[in-house]
Structure formats: C-alpha cells, structure tokens
Structure 1
Amino acid sequence: MSGEKNSFPVALTIAGSDSGGGAGIQADLRAFRAAGVFGCSVIAAITAQNPARVLRIDPLPPESLQAQIEAVASVFHVGAVKTGMLFSAELIRTVVAELKRFTCPVVVDPVMVSTSGVPLLRQDAVQAVCGELLPAADWITPNIPEAELLLDRKLNSFDELLEGAKELASRFHCGVVLKGGHAEDDPEARDAVFFGGRGMILLSPRIRTLPHAAHGTGCTFSSSLAAGLARGLSPESALTYAKRFVFESLAGAALVSKPGVPPVAAMPPDFRCGADESDKIRLVSI
C-alpha cells in the first residue's frame, strides 16, 4: 500500500443493514456521500425492516465482522469511524478489539431501540455497551430513551438532559450529544452537548409538518458528525454541520412508502458540506 494519504476523506460505518434503506448502513453511506466523504462499510447484522417495523434481525458471525474490518483497515486511511447497531455482546467485543487498528475519531451511536419500538440490542449486550464500547468512543450520540437507560433514571427537563450529558461525558471520557428530538413539547429541537469540560446547546427549529416521526434521523446525525470529523472539521463545526444536515433532511423528508408509514429522512438536494450555515442552526455555550 502506498504511504501517501488519501486526497479524498474516508469514513467507516460499522452497523446493521436496513432493507428499507431509511436507517443503518444505507443512511450512513448517504450521509457520507453528501458530505463529500468516501464511505466504507462493515455490516454487523442484516435486518428485515421498513420505516414502520422490524421483522427480523440476523447478526453476522464475529469472524465475518473481524474480516470486514481488516479488509478496510488494511488499505484505507480512515478519517473517522461510526458505529451503530451491533446487537450482541459478542459483536460489540469484536468491534472494540478491532477499533485498535484505527487512530481516528470514533463516534458511537448506542442504538438500542428502533423508531418502531423494537429492541435492537440483546439484553446481555447492554453491559458490553457501557463497559466496553462507550469507553472506546470519542463521541457518543444517545437519544433520550438511550440516555435514560445508560443513566438509569428519567430525564424530565432540558436541564436534566444537560446534567445527563455532563455525567456521561465524565463517565466515559468522551464528547456527548444527548439528542432532544424525543422531547416533542420543546418548541426547538435542542440537543445537550458536553465536551472539553464545556456544556453547550445545539439548536435547530423543530419541524412539525411530518405526519409521523421520521425514520433514520439518529443514524443520519451520527454519521454526519463522523463525516465532518473525517473532513477535518473542528468539533464545533462538525456538530453544527450534522445538525444542519438532519434539519434539512427532515425538511425534505420523503414519503416514499404507503400512506400511514413514517417518512424517511432523505438527503437534501444539492446539499454541500461546508456551505454557508443557516442561522437557524446554533451551538450555544452555557
């Protein structure tokens, strides 16, 4: 392999395949491409799902996961790694061991439950997430239900989200984005951010015109954050980029399926990483 670094940034996603195309590996690769990043993928599980429900989950053998990661690491200069649904403790331990191959930022989306409410993590894997996967992360991006599980308490206000983000950052020694999208009574979509000893609020307007909660927003945010980091953006710029991409994706969410099925967070047309950011997206220190 040549010793020269890629002129084109590379990001790797390690996650599950979504047959409906709205989340998982498929959403990650769309987000990478929109950011101008070459996307590599390692499939941890194959899911039979669509935006409305998950029918089946088939995890791949750890040996397959290990071989896929080795294949990528041996020839690509990976600028960021994002992990999504890993499903079992065995797969989590395989990923954590293989992450030592990389020296780039690692973004962990601790995927535990699907948009439709189906568990995406075996019960015995929760301990592996807390004890092994999250300590290996540079950034974690839990939503409110995931953060409540990690913290073992309810989060009933945005002040409690901020405290929760700070606690998770201290526990796992990483940056935290505690996504507030599930707080539907909040007039803005506010995320609690903590990194580098600082608390911040990441804000965008809340889009209320969708008939159902959109499918794939969590995957899209974490992979967009990883893409920004792979491009060499500062953490602040990568955060606002990811938030803006999700906002624009929701604004253009596609009703690609039958009536009554949740929309998919679609790629905005002509979206460019690094374009002038809308003043609707703000990262505010507290």
Structure 2
Amino acid sequence: MTPPVILSIAGSDCSSGAGIQADLKVAHALGVFSLTAVTCVVSEVPGDVSAIQAIEPELVADQVRICLDTFPVAAVKTGMLYSPEIVGACAPLLRRSGLPLVVDPVMIATAGDPLMLESAITAYESDILPITTLLTPNTDELARLLGCGTITTAARLKEATHALCGKYGCAVLGKGGHLSNRCHDILALPGGQTFEWTRDKISGVSTHGTGCSLSSAIASLLAHGLPLPEAVSSALDFVAQSIAAHHRWQHQGLGIDVLNHAMPSRT
C-alpha cells in the first residue's frame, strides 16, 4: 500500500535526536512518508546548541512549494522557523494549501538556547497561528505567547492552554512534561472541549527531541485519518514508548540519550 504523506518544515539537527531527522524516523515508524523543507542547519548535540545557519527564505519556500505541488500531502508539521523572513516565506503557501497544520513553536532548546529570533515571534503570531490546526507549546512557550508568568502547576497549565486556544482560535496542546514527577498534557479545542492525560515521568532519561517527535507523530496520525484527540492520545503514547526504549551511549565521560523511534505503528 502507498503510505500517506506529510511535510515537515523544520531545522536539521546533526545529532539526529530532534528536527527533521527525528521527524523522518517518527513518520517511518508510523507508516507515513515524510517530505522535508529544511529551514536551518543546526550544529547541536543533546544539551548544547553550538551554531545555527538559516537557509535563505526563498529556498525554504521553494522546498515547500515543490513538495506541495508534487506529492499528495495530507498534513504539515512546522518546527524551527527561526526568522520573520522564513515565517513570511512559508505562510502564504501553507494558507493556500488548506492542509491540517501542526505547529511546534520551537523557541527555546531544552538546554536554554534560543531557537527563534525574537523578531520572528510577532510574524509567527500574525502569519502562522491563524491558520494552525494544532499548536503544541511547552510551558515556557505558553508563557511567552501569553505574556504571563512562569507556569508551575497543572491547574495553571490548563488555564493557560485554554487562554491560548481562545487567543488564536486553534486547538492547543499544552505540554507539562517538566512540571513535576508526573507528565500533564492538556488539549483544549475551540468551543471549550478539553482532554487531559497524566502519566508517570520516565526518570533519568534526556528528553532531547520530544517536542519534535510529538508534533510529527500527531501530523502522521492525522494523515492516517485519525480525529485530532485520538491522534494526540496515540502520539503521546508513542513518544512515551520512545523515551522508555531510549538509546544510551557513554562517550568521553558523558552519557548520551536519544529517543528510540523504532516502535510498532500506533495507527
């Protein structure tokens, strides 16, 4: 059978734990063919972003255009868009496509390094979020987009997720994996419907690339035709299994963890 197709518009992670490399592995594991439009080349390993080189916006847009024109794309996922020029180059193409759009607002790396220019956030809000199907912010990104203080409790996460859903008029998945020893994830849909998931945190494992993996898993499952709440639930299960089955290497005195995406299909 011919697999469904998604398009990932994201940065390249040379350590292959996040970005388009993670998106490709997730899509393959879930029985989906993923196209890619590279926005940035990032020199990074878990815990350390060394350098970022943005791709020319015209080339990013041409990658998006030629993929959409050539393949039967069923869903799109965006990750690291980085600059207002890249946002502006992609937005008209995504708007015209009318496809389900899963947006991972990649703003800050797990290590704390900025992954989006401050000037890009305004363009993001005006050009990308109004056409978004699902926005998947973590607590730091929620706080930044709402202009509120630090989110430290599950109750505040729920409140902020609903507030962002109302602000942008799209579904929002508030990711609370760093709140406590329990992972809290809240999906708010326009109209007020809420879905919540809570699970024990898998301790002692680096979670580099979980946001990329989750958003690409949701896009892959939407491409298979799953309704949004079911796609989110299955994607959360898939990422949890990928964390639990992680790869680990010891090298030069350091422990390196990478998610293992080679899991059975969740479709």
Q: Do the two structures share a fold, i.e. TM-score over 0.5?
A: yes
Q: Distance in 2 between matches of 1:182 and 1:48?
A: 25
Matched, 1:182 2:175: no
Q: CA deviation at 1:203?
A: 2.6
Alignment of 1:5-84 (within 5 A): 7-84=2-79
Alignment of 1:45-124 (within 5 A): 45-124=40-119
Alignment partner, residue 284 of structure 1: none
| Aligned-pair identity (%) | 34
Paired letter, 2:66 = A
Q: Residue 245 of structure 1 aligns to a residue in which SS?
A: helix
Q: Which moved more, 1:249-258 or 1:146-155?
A: 249-258
Q: Distance in 2 between matches of 1:48 and 1:252?
A: 25
- CA RMSD in angstroms comes to 1.5
Deviations 1:247-273 (A, max 9, x none): 00110111146243451112144x112
| Residue in structure 1 matching 2:161, options 150, 162, 165 | 165
Q: Distance in 2 between matches of 1:265 and 1:44?
A: 23
**Normalised TM-score (structure 1):** 0.88
Paired letter, 2:119 = D
Change (3 A) 1:97 1:51: same
Deviations 1:200-257 (A, max 9, x none): 21233211142xx321001000100100101101112101111011100110111146
CA contact (8 A) 1:78 1:102 kept: no
Q: Residue 36 of structure 1 aligns to a residue in which SS?
A: coil
Paired letter, 1:114 = A
Alignment partner, residue 242 of structure 2: 249
Q: CA deviation at 1:100?
A: 2.5
CA contact (8 A) 2:13 2:44 kept: yes
* Structure 2: unaligned runs, 5 residues or longer: none
Q: Distance in 2 between matches of 1:268 and 1:188?
A: 25
Q: Distance in 2 between matches of 1:165 and 1:100?
A: 24
Q: Provide the aligned length of Structure 1 versus Structure 2.
A: 264
Q: Distance in 1 between matches of 2:188 and 2:67?
A: 31
Deviations 1:33-58 (A, max 9, x none): 11100110000011111112111100
Q: Distance in 2 between matches of 1:256 and 1:71?
A: 39
Matched, 1:233 2:229: no
Q: CA deviation at 1:7?
A: 4.1
Q: Residue 182 of structure 1 aligns to a residue in which SS?
A: coil
Structure 1 stretches of 4+ with a deviation exceeding 4 A read: none
Alignment of 1:139-158 (within 5 A): 139-153=134-148, 154-158=150-154
Q: Distance in 1 between matches of 2:131 and 2:143?
A: 20
* Structure 1: unaligned runs, 5 residues or longer: 1-5, 275-286
Q: Distance in 2 between matches of 1:208 and 1:233?
A: 30
Q: CA deviation at 1:92?
A: 0.7
Paired letter, 1:195 = L
Higher strand share: 2
Deviations 1:67-87 (A, max 9, x none): 111110111111110000011
Paired letter, 1:207 = I
CA contact (8 A) 2:95 2:131 kept: no
CA contact (8 A) 1:248 1:268 kept: no
Matched, 1:195 2:211: no
CA contact (8 A) 1:204 1:243 kept: no
